[in-house]
Amino acid sequence: MHHKVIFHLDMDQFFVAVELRDHPSLRGKPVAVGGSRHVGKGIITTASYEARRYGLHSGMAVRDALQLCPQVIFVHPDIAKYVHVSQSIFRMLLEYTDRVEPVSVDEAYFDVSDVVWKEGGVEALAMKIKRRIVQTERVTATIGAGANRQVAKVAAGMHKPDGFTYLSPERVADVYRDMPVGDLCGVGRATEQALHSFGVHTAGQLAVFPVEILKRRFGKWGAELSRVARGEGDDVVLRPDERPQEKSMGHEQTFSRELKNEHDILGRLHLLCEKVARRLRAAQLAGKVVSVTIRYKGFETVSHERKVKRNIQHEMDIYPVAEALFHEAYQPAQLVRLVGVHVADLMSTAHVRQLELFVPPLEPDDLTRACDDIKERFGERAIGFASGTFNMEGRFLSNARAVAQYNPFHHRIAS
DNA sequence: TCTGGGGTCCTAGGACCC
DNA sequence: TCTGGGGTCCTAGGACCC
């Protein structure tokens, strides 16, 4: 049996790359997308390679970034633009195979097994794709290739930026022998620490470590871990029409200042419910599990969830559950840093209709549809349902203003 | 390192049922 | 009920990914 050839495409410093492309004056300088010098809070999403030389990286707190590199230039993210570039690139990949699976705006797996030989081999095809990305979008990408997704991802990490690495099955053991376990797909901080405590530091050591011990410590994941360390993995890349349904949808928000007033917090919670509900309706989905997350000043995080009887998609159904869950979880003495709302156990409204023949229809009424449309065009606080507003205190408007600020994480690539 | 926001999957205990 | 074993559902929390 012949093994497959899976490619992992990873756009180099993607957000920064698009900004450097569009603003040549920034080139050669330490640049970070996300965050802001003035707010002095939050995190950066991407650091340019110049900035990385100072130790900056994605996920880093703005405050730390400023310490390490005071001259760093912050650029506000333009996610709509990045999504556009990303979609153009992923569309191009579809010319080679229908098995293209985006994992995020800047990464995708695709299965080239059926075309790679008539395209002149693994390297020739990868180079051609890299070239086409530069020609059409003027940004660079790194491609990793392997017999499965996990190996392809490791391969992509080996030479960046603008790189290409093929980790053929024959080469895997050799490369993995001295590679840190943390470089394996799925080994994060916690797993890495646990493995270190076993004396396992390299993928090679993990590959020969007794599976029974791994299973005892990591459960189901233990056996998988052992396989991944031996270069085995998942070699199925799904076509767009084969992708599973989304399972949950939610929004959370960290406040620029911690909140202690319950009405303020509930105001934010209501806005989050509205946003989730609107997305559910747009995606024609409804869900049965509502959950609320509260994060306190010290980063202690609690969540409460409840399964409800019916599939719901409207904020007038979601918010009352969310409010009840909030009261169950909330400790009033503490300052609140974040709240979130999620709806899970999702099902398409078409399916819901089949199952719930004798209950009132789920479809958004004309009023709801009109409100969604208005918000789509004029923004978050253009209109709202009066039931959940807290404007009697005069607080709601200022809350709404804060929430309506551009949120760089709103857009998700359809996948 | 004082830590964003979007997700997925797994675990473990208790309820409840037969 | 001084009491077994197994299955499924519900809920809270955590690890991991980008």
Q: Can you give the distance from the CA of residue A210 to the C1' of nucleotide B11 in angstroms?
A: 22
Does A98 score more than 60 pLDDT? yes
Q: Taking the CA atoms of A97, A101, A102 and A103 in sequence, report the sign of the dihedral they define.
A: negative
A410 touches strand B (CB under 7 A): yes
A254 touches strand B (CB under 7 A): yes
pLDDT of residue A40: 73
Average pLDDT over residues A348-376: 71
Alpha carbon distance A198, A211 (integer Å): 12
A43 touches strand B (CB under 7 A): yes
Average pLDDT over residues A200-222: 95
> Angle at Cα A79 formed by Cα A77 and Cα A80, nearest 5°?
135
pLDDT tier at A362, thresholds 50, 70, 90: low
Q: Three-state SS for A337? A: strand
- Residue A139 tokens read as 């940004």
Alpha carbon distance A290, A345 (integer Å): 9
Q: Residues of A with catalytic annotation? A: 107
The reported pTM is 0.87
**Closest listed residue to residue A177, CA positions, set A209, A206, A213:** A206
Name the average pLDDT for chain A. Answer: 89
CA closest to C1' of C9 belongs to A307
Q: In what order do the strands lie in the sheet with A100-104?
A: A100-104, A107-111, A6-11, A141-146, A164-167
- Residue A224 tokens read as 């998988």
Tracing tokens 């229809």 back to the chain, one arrives at A361
pLDDT tier at A288, thresholds 50, 70, 90: very high
Does A389 score more than 50 pLDDT? no
Q: Which of residues 255-284 of A touch strand B (CB under 7 A)?
A: 279
pLDDT of residue A11: 98
What percent of chain A is predicted at pLDDT more than 90? 81
pLDDT tier at A393, thresholds 50, 70, 90: very low
Average pLDDT over residues A55-63: 93
Cβ partners under 8 Å of residue A167, min gap 6:
A144, A145, A146, A151, A152, A154, A155, A158, A175, A231
- Alpha-helix residue ranges (DSSP H) falling in A230-296: 262-282
A58 touches strand B (CB under 7 A): yes
Establish whether the linkage from the previous residue to A161 is cis, with ω within 30° of 0.
yes
pLDDT greater at residue A387 or residue A51: A51
pLDDT tens for each residue of A151-173: 999 999 999 999 999 999 999 99
Average pLDDT over residues A55-80: 94
pLDDT tier at A384, thresholds 50, 70, 90: low
- Do A9 and A108 contact (CB within 8 A), yes or no? yes
What percent of chain A is predicted at pLDDT more than 70? 86
pLDDT tier at A407, thresholds 50, 70, 90: very low
Q: A340 - beta bridge partners?
A: A252, A293
Residue type, A84: H
pLDDT of residue A399: 35
pLDDT tier at A305, thresholds 50, 70, 90: very high
Average pLDDT over residues A361-373: 65
When mean pLDDT is compared across A106-120, A245-259, A290-304, A366-380, the lowest value belongs to: A366-380
Alpha carbon distance A148, A235 (integer Å): 4
Cβ partners under 8 Å of residue A218, min gap 6:
A191, A194, A225
Does A240 score more than 50 pLDDT? yes
pLDDT tens for each residue of A247-258: 999 999 999 999
Alpha carbon distance A178, A105 (integer Å): 31
Q: Three-state SS for A407? A: coil
Q: Three-state SS for A138? A: coil
**Closest listed residue to residue A154, CA positions, set A170, A134, A168:** A168
Q: Please report, for residues A147, A224, A344, A404, the alpha-carbon distance to residue A267 in angstroms, rounded to integers and kept in the order given.
A: 50, 44, 22, 13
When mean pLDDT is compared across A179-188, A297-306, A357-366, A401-410, the lowest value belongs to: A401-410
Tracing tokens 């620490």 back to the chain, one arrives at A193
pLDDT tier at A355, thresholds 50, 70, 90: confident
**Strand C footprint nucleotides (protein C-beta < 7 Å):** 9-18
pLDDT of residue A370: 66
**Strand B footprint nucleotides (protein C-beta < 7 Å):** 1-12
Residue type, A39: V
Average pLDDT over residues A310-318: 96
